[in-house]
Amino acid sequence: MASSSVESKALSNNIQNEGVDTGEDHLNVLQKHVAFFDRNNDGIVYPWETYQGFRAIGCGIPLSTVSAFLINVALSGKTRPGKFPSLLFPVNVKNIHMAKHGSDSGVYDTEGRFVSSKFEDIFQKHAVSNSNALTSEELMGMLKANRMPKDYSGWVASWTEWKILYVLCKDKNGLLQKDTIKAVYDGSLFEHMEKERSSARKKA
């Protein structure tokens, strides 16, 4: 995935560099991040779609299966306020900001918009060896710094998200590049990874 850090720079251009970005179209940045997993574009993400999304970006069957179950179970009720629980565990893309967990970086605000200052803080505070990338140790340091007291579910959610991103997208030097991280926030990295994986299969 070394090429991801380079090519994702162009993919992340739709995230503005200043203030708060509300998104260029009807979806805000957090919604765009989640919409990749809405495989039929109906505004609802079901567990099998989450599974398909994880498989599309290169995750194995076990990880994709576990992720799909845990993510949809955790987010479904929060994105469907006032509705009876559904055993299909649908996630409403429009309301995804309601499921925002604690102990995170704060790059998404409470409405799901991208906050540039918080994004830059990640690297100003934690990128020691390289100003535009994070090592595994620096990433773990950031996660510890973001922990809110007794927010155990937030700790687990943040660790899982960042660990998967690091494993899939670190470069040959073990660095998670700034452009790669920026692209994951609006989901453009997912689209790039799917296209890259599809292209590789065709060449095989």
In the chain, where the domains are located: 4-203
Q: How far are the Cα atoms of 24, 52, 97, 190 from residue 113, in angstroms, in the given order? A: 11, 26, 9, 18
Per-residue pLDDT of the chain (204 residues; tens, 9 = 90+): 544 444 444 444 444 433 444 444 689 999 999 999 999 999 999 999 999 999 999 999 999 999 999 999 999 999 998 889 999 999 999 999 999 999 999 999 999 999 999 999 999 999 999 999 999 999 999 999 999 999 999 999 999 999 999 999 999 999 999 999 999 999 999 999 999 988 888 886
Contact (Cβ atoms closer than 8 angstroms) between residue 179 and residue 10 = no
